[in-house]
Amino acid sequence: MKRFAVVCGSYQWSDRYYTEKVDTMRDALESMARDGIDVRMFAITQHPHDYKTQHTGVTYSFSGGAGLVQAHRGLVRALTEWRPDAVVCKDFWNPVNSMVYNALPQAEKLLIFCGGELKPPAFHVDRVMVASEAMAQVLRVRGYRGEIVPRAFGVNCDLFQPSDVPKQYDLLYVADWRENKRQELLLDVMARKAMRVCFLGAQHGIYNQEYFDKCMRRAARLGVRDRMILVDRMPGHETVKYYQQARAAIHLGLKTEGGARSPLEAMACELPVIVTTDCLSNCSRIEHLTEGFHAEPTAAALAHACNYMLNNPAISREFGQAGRRKVLTLWHGGAMEEDFRRLLV
């Protein structure tokens, strides 16, 4: 029996964060398990019960301990004892990945890159999965010589789909509250354009509490705090309703970002997506004036984009429908399963 490992260890202790990140793998992992492949998820978490409800037929191995270093070592020890035929990890900057790959020289390896700075991994890996062909080209230019799969994450299009429920928000924004000025930029846009914005990622999604508090004070000064709807980050099957209640989505990606999943989830729900021109991964996946709107990363330009999308519902609807068609073609969950199964051939 082939053994397939998914590693969800990272530098932070968070239950819902990991559940959300692996939720898009659900269909692929469950299908592989039904076909007799021994699928096991290795995770560092303080709340393992959140995982046990997520995947049918998948075995779980949890590492904890007095500290994160000890937890990482426990995770690697469990992997080496199990000896998988293939292993999938996420993100170049994740410190546990180097430990995992070095400890499993015999296993086929795939690295899923969905965030952080786009640069070659500092350790050997057979294949890298990135968000788009444009990202693959960047990675090749920067020196990576392994195989590149231009498809980072699949989207469960049966879960993320359009709905005719009443709209509660003008925009949906997935916020992580890292101190990168993007949240502040969106607050400035809200000061120019009167709209209700759902910030998906409050509470468990906060990486920097001090920065979050700073943004809340700024929102109060700008007079926009009452139009901010803060929603806790949660697994996809609970998140989808917030996409469906929004009229459009906005993603303020960073210049070197490898490709977030949230714009694809928005497209799957037939939302037009507003992105900034300095984020190559977003612009390469979302066609301007076809599936969404590309705007300069300034408050004035983004306010204009919001005006365009929100004041033209028929055009927004066309963009949303085009976006879902693209997701169904390129980023459906079955495509991810194909990539996973190739590791076991």
Q: State CA 151 to chain mean position distance.
A: 12
Q: What is the mean pLDDT of residues 168-176?
A: 91
Examine the domain organization and report whether 106 and 202 are in the same domain. no
Is the pLDDT score of 18 beyond 50? no
229 inside domain: yes
Q: Are residues 254 and 305 in the same domain?
A: yes
In this prediction, residue 14 carries a pLDDT of: 41
- 293 contacts 308 by C-beta, under 8 angstroms: yes
Compute the C-alpha angle 78/79/84, nearest 5°. Answer: 140
Angle between helices 182-192 and 299-310 (to 10 degrees): 60
Q: Are residues 313 and 224 in the same domain?
A: yes
User: Is 179 part of any domain?
Assistant: yes
- Is the residue at 162 inside a domain? no
Same domain, 68 and 78: yes
The residue among 340 and 187 whose pLDDT is bigger is: 187
* Cβ proximity of 224 and 199 under 8 Å: no
Q: Is residue 294 part of a domain?
A: yes
> Residues 195, 140: one domain?
no
Residue 20 scores a pLDDT above 60? no
- Do 37 and 103 share a structural domain? yes
Mean pLDDT value across residues 57-73: 73
Name which of 186, 4, 36, 17 is nearest 109 in CA terms: 4
Instruction: Find which of 41-45, 79-83, 337-341 is predicted with most confidence, using mean pLDDT.
Output: 79-83
Contact between residue 259 and residue 114 where contact means Cβ atoms under 8 Å apart = yes
Based on the domain organization, do 301 and 181 belong to the same domain? yes
Q: Pick the range with the lowest mean pLDDT from 7-16, 77-86, 262-271.
A: 7-16
Would residue 198 count as lying in a domain? yes
Q: Is it the case that residue 179 has pLDDT exceeding 80?
A: no
Give a yes or no: residue 205 inside a domain. yes
The tens digit of pLDDT for each residue in 281-297 reads 888 889 999 999 999 99
161 belongs to a structural domain: no
What's the domain count of the chain?
2
Cα 274 to Cα 232: distance, rounded to the nearest angstrom: 22
In sequence order, the β-bridge partners of residue 112 are 90, 129
Least confident span in 20-24, 96-100, 161-165, 320-324 = 20-24
Q: Closest Cα partner for 109 from 130, 131, 86, 91?
A: 86
In a domain, 120, yes or no: yes
Place 115 in a pLDDT band, splitting at 50, 70 and 90.
low
Q: Are residues 299 and 192 located together in one domain of the fold?
A: yes
What pTM does this model have? Answer: 0.82
Q: In what order do the strands lie in the sheet with 147-149?
A: 59-63, 38-44, 3-7, 86-90, 108-112, 127-129, 147-149
Category of 36 on φ-ψ map: left (φ > 0), alpha (ψ -120 to 50) or beta: left
Distance CA 148, CA 258 (A): 13
Please tell me whether residues 181 and 279 are part of one structural domain: yes
pLDDT of residue 215: 92
Both 179 and 275 in one domain: the answer is yes
Alpha-carbon separation of residue 243 from 51, 285, 342 (angstroms)? 23, 19, 32
118-148 pLDDT tens trace: 677 767 787 888 877 777 887 888 888 888 8
Q: Which residue has the higher pLDDT, 231 or 37?
A: 37
Higher-confidence residue of 271 and 335: namely 271
One domain for residues 102 and 222: no
**Enclosing domain of residue 24:** 3-156+331-342
Q: Are residues 149 and 28 in the same domain?
A: yes
CATH number for position 142 = 3.40.50.2000
